[in-house]
Structure 1
Amino acid sequence: MTSLENSAVHLTPLNLGVRAHDFEKMPLDRLIRKIKQYSFSNIQFAIKKSFPESAPSLSALSPGTASYYGGAFSRAGIKLAVLGCYVNIVATDPSVRARALDDFITHLRLARDFGASLVGTETGSVGNGYTTDNFTEEAFQEVVNSVRLMVDEAERFGVTIGIEAGQNHPLHSAPLTRRLLDEVPSNNLQVILDCANLMSPDNYETQDAIVTEALDLLGDRIAVIHLKDFKIEQGRIHIVPVGQGMLNFSPILHYMKYKRPHIHGILESTPESDMETSIAFLQRIYSEI
């Protein structure tokens, strides 16, 4: 361990958060108590998932709704690291895509009222679920077209977009994500990196190389790290609680500790019944690297 790394041991605690909707649906005051019970410093908040009654339609969200939730989290000392608005920005039906983009732009407009500076999404699918059409150049160009529109609005509102790659999506690898960043050259476009999302039954045995490539290619454009785990069962990826799967978290946590101190890391797809164990698993690795 270098002297720089040694000093960082005492300076950079793991900045761990959670997706709010990984808790069961509950009143806001109880949700806040749960978040604080597990000592999460930040959250990813998708209002439609946690409080659907407050969001009968995403485009109808008001500054009042945003400040109601944002103010409650702020008073509790909980940072809203990601305002989640996961919509299909490459839908082939023009009306569906237009509605998705409108919903996302509404979140950009209200991000400051929520107390967030970053709005996150994946790219969706050009088909109804899985389709090999997502792996075409045409599908990637549809991503570029939509992201350019989104970035224009993000720059207008002074908010950041967090784009997340995922297997089977048009944006499904670190090199493609790097290409998107190059084709839409704006600092208002950043990356939510979920290394489990880059794994497949065909490549998981070379996961260390894939993770290293992602960290090298995306570097300082990574705004948030999702912490999620997976197993291979019957030739398919299955998401499991963190620490119960096959993902090697050491290089990810090393990057978080030494390359990007205090970066938001968000526990994902881990139910509350497993949270305590998963948190201890991550903290142990983080303290040892």
Structure 2
Amino acid sequence: MKHLGFRAHDLGTFDSATQLASAIATYGPSIPIQLAIRKVLRDAPMSSSYTEAFIKNLHDELAAKGASVAVFGCYINPVHPDKAIRDEQLSSFEQHLKFANLLGCPLVGTETGSLNADCSFHPDTAEPKVLDVLYRSIERLVEAAVKYDAIVGVEAVSKQHTISTIERMAALVEKFDTPHLKVIYDPINLVPWTGLAEQDGSSRGKPSIEAQRTFVNAALDAFGPRIAALHVKDYRLDSNGYKIGDLPFGEGVFDWKDLFSELRKRSIEVPALLENANPATLADTLSLLSTY
């Protein structure tokens, strides 16, 4: 059975954990979510001010309505060009790791950043020296994850972020060969900016199933056993042939049914979380995905 859910903040923002839990429960009796506390709860404290009482109350309110946290979101820039800010963000991530198990979710997720403070594209992000900074940041976070018996979840983004390709993600998980580091697999994020390559090197507006399977299998061969969560959205190419990669599921060209079939073949069963979902159509989307 699939574990289908969504990002909590796609439902909006709420005044209390009780309101949030009630909103999630309208979509089913047992829903996994991605939770970024300050994106979804008004007046939520900074991570430096988290307390056991606050996190436990949040867990209990969600659990009372059947909701559970599959990814504890703390999306930072671990290669931020300002070292002081980078250290501050890494400390915030460590705080999330500290409280993760109390929330019922050991997995704390982040992307891998860029040389621009806002994580936008910078032409030098792929340089080896930036990768070295990322590795040092990940090493620090993994040490904290070991201390708190938690998990660092890493998500790649093509071209834009430090971990931008299947090969780079494979190298990362090989370097940090530990159960305290896992992959948040977002296949749309990994689609190259000019789309999926066909066998002859061309790129189509709607890729062939062969091109998609080559792309998916390369990722699953490289790090499939390390996947801890799946992000579900869609993409298409614009009139200039560049990826629009933040579309809701079903509004693009990616064949999710085929991907779920491949995941079943490989016995990869992880929470699948919708991104950029529309609350008005979310119930129908979850219902459709359950048939895939």
Q: TM-score, normalised by structure 1?
A: 0.88
For structure 2, list consecutive stretches of 5 or more residues without a partner in the other structure.
197-206
Tell me by how many angstroms 1:46 deviates: 0.6
1:219 to 1:183, Cα distance in 2 relative to 1, 3 A: same
Per the alignment, residue 155 of structure 1 pairs with: 146
Comparing 108-117 and 30-39, the one that deviates more = 30-39
Per the alignment, residue 199 of structure 2 pairs with: none
Deviations along 1:189-231, one digit per CA (max 9) or x if unpaired, are 0000000001133233444322111111112100111111112
Tell me by how many angstroms 1:123 deviates: 1.0
Per the alignment, residue 213 of structure 1 pairs with: 218
Alignment pair present for 1:93 and 2:82: yes
Per the alignment, residue 190 of structure 1 pairs with: 182
Q: Give the whole-Å Cα distance in 2 for the aligned partners of 1:261 and 1:200.
A: 24
Per the alignment, residue 73 of structure 1 pairs with: 62
Structure with more helix by fraction = 1
Tell me by how many angstroms 1:94 deviates: 0.7
Alignment pair present for 1:164 and 2:152: no
Tell me by how many angstroms 1:31 deviates: 2.5
Per the alignment, residue 34 of structure 2 pairs with: 44
Per the alignment, residue 114 of structure 2 pairs with: 125
Q: Give the whole-Å Cα distance in 2 for the aligned partners of 1:115 and 1:187.
A: 17
RMSD over aligned Cα atoms: 1.7
Alignment pair present for 1:83 and 2:90: no
Deviations along 1:210-258, one digit per CA (max 9) or x if unpaired, are 2111111112100111111112223333221111111111332124434
Q: Give the whole-Å Cα distance in 1 for the aligned partners of 2:268 and 2:235.
A: 25
Q: Give the whole-Å Cα distance in 1 for the aligned partners of 2:172 and 2:193.
A: 25
Code of the aligned partner of 1:163: V
1:170-185 equivalences under 5 Å are 170-185=162-177
Comparing 234-243 and 157-166, the one that deviates more = 234-243
1:214-229 equivalences under 5 Å are 214-229=219-234
Per the alignment, residue 25 of structure 1 pairs with: 13
Contact 1:199 1:207 in 2 (8 A): no
Contact 2:194 2:237 in 1 (8 A): no
Contact 2:18 2:62 in 1 (8 A): no
Comparing 83-92 and 233-242, the one that deviates more = 233-242
Residue 124 of structure 2: SS of its match in structure 1? helix
Contact 2:6 2:32 in 1 (8 A): yes
Code of the aligned partner of 2:243: I
Comparing 271-280 and 188-197, the one that deviates more = 271-280
Tell me by how many angstroms 1:52 deviates: 4.2
For structure 1, list consecutive stretches of 5 or more residues without a partner in the other structure.
1-12
What is the aligned-residue identity percentage? 27
Per the alignment, residue 3 of structure 1 pairs with: none
Q: Give the whole-Å Cα distance in 2 for the aligned partners of 1:261 and 1:92.
A: 36
Flag as ranges the 4+ runs of structure 1 deviating above 6 A. Answer: none
Tell me by how many angstroms 1:261 deviates: 5.3
Q: Give the whole-Å Cα distance in 2 for the aligned partners of 1:264 and 1:162.
A: 13
1:203 to 1:138, Cα distance in 2 relative to 1, 3 A: farther
Contact 2:74 2:108 in 1 (8 A): yes
Q: Give the whole-Å Cα distance in 2 for the aligned partners of 1:137 and 1:271.
A: 39
Contact 2:195 2:243 in 1 (8 A): no
Q: Give the whole-Å Cα distance in 2 for the aligned partners of 1:213 and 1:261.
A: 15
